[in-house]
């Protein structure tokens, strides 16, 4: 079977919602033992239960990715239980709307802590295990905002630009240890976050604004989380064993065709 993840142990941060949830589901369907890292105990347990109820392999771990000690503790628990970590997918992240002068220092720091330090913490926690194994795959979820100018996304763009740079450096530094590291850059994806954003900011005009946002992708719609998950599956599978040190667009033509 192509893209078979049987006997692989995959860690997915932010695996309880949105893109992370879709990735956790797809990886589990392909046979991986999925370890979901979520901020609250409730989210971690419910996310894992949703998969185990389908007779898929999953376990939830409560972890705040902004605290290195918590990430290391979770990783150690995973290695103790399953003996290895083959795949790390960094999905945990938050969005922020605002340009430079409307982004407070507090909001800037919050975005940095989750979107940048969280990725650093997760990678630095798994690297010793992957180095020892002489095998590992890291996939970081970046964004088109990290490489293109998007109006009023100052802090968010900063954070995703940092994710791109960390991805390239990690790929180069650990290629001899058998570790691959890539990132994906989605454009707009239809997740519960989008629905909540429209409800809170455009009450009564949700459908109109949803269509407007959808049309910013030349393909004419937002991505589905499972479409991103299928791309992630390929990049984390052995079929992609020649791919490392790259960022891959999944953006419905947003980057290249919006001219």
Per-residue pLDDT of 27-60, as tens digits, reads 999 999 999 999 999 999 999 999 999 999 999 9
Q: Residues 52-100: pLDDT tens digits?
A: 999 999 999 999 999 999 999 999 999 999 999 999 999 999 999 999 9
**Looking at the predicted structure, is the pLDDT value of residue 149 above 90?**
no
Phi and psi torsions of 7, nearest 5°? 75, 5
Q: Provide CATH code, domain 9-187+224-249.
A: 3.40.50.720
Would you list the domain boundaries of the chain? 9-187+224-249, 191-222
Average pLDDT, the chain: 96
> What is the SS3 assignment for 118-148?
HHHHHHHHHHHHHHHHCCEEEEEECCHHHCC
Q: Is 106 exposed, middle or buried (0-12, 13-18, 19+ CB in 10 A)?
A: exposed
Positions annotated as catalytic residues are 156
Check residue 178 and report its DSSP letter: T
> Can you give the pTM of this predicted structure?
0.96
């Amino acid at each position: 079977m192509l893209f078979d993840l049987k006997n692989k142990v995959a860690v997915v941060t932010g695996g309880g919602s949105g893109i992370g949830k879709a990735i956790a589901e797809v990886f589990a369907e392909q046979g991986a033992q999925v370890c979901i890292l979520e901020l609250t105990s409730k989210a971690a347990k419910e996310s894992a239960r949703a998969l185990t109820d389908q007779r898929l392999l999953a376990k939830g771990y409560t972890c705040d990715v902004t605290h290195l000690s918590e990430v290391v503790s979770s990783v150690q628990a995973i290695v103790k239980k399953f003996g290895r970590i083959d795949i790390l997918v960094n999905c945990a992240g938050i969005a922020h709307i605002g340009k430079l002068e409307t982004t407070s220092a507090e909001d800037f720091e919050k975005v940095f802590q989750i979107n940048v330090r969280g990725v650093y913490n997760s990678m630095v926690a798994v690297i010793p295990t992957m180095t020892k194994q002489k095998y590992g795959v890291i996939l970081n979820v970046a964004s088109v905002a990290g490489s293109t100018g998007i109006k009023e996304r100052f802090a968010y763009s900063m954070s995703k630009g940092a994710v791109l740079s960390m991805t390239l450096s990690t790929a180069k530094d650990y290629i001899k240890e058998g570790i691959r590291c890539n990132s994906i850059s989605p454009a707009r994806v239809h997740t519960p976050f989008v629905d909540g954003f429209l409800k809170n900011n455009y009450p009564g005009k949700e459908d109109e604004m949803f269509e407007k946002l959808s049309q910013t992708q030349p393909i004419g719609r937002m991505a589905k989380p499972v479409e991103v998950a299928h791309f992630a599956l390929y990049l984390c599978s052995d079929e992609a064993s020649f791919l490392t040190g790259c960022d891959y667009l999944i953006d419905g033509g947003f980057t290249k065709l919006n001219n």
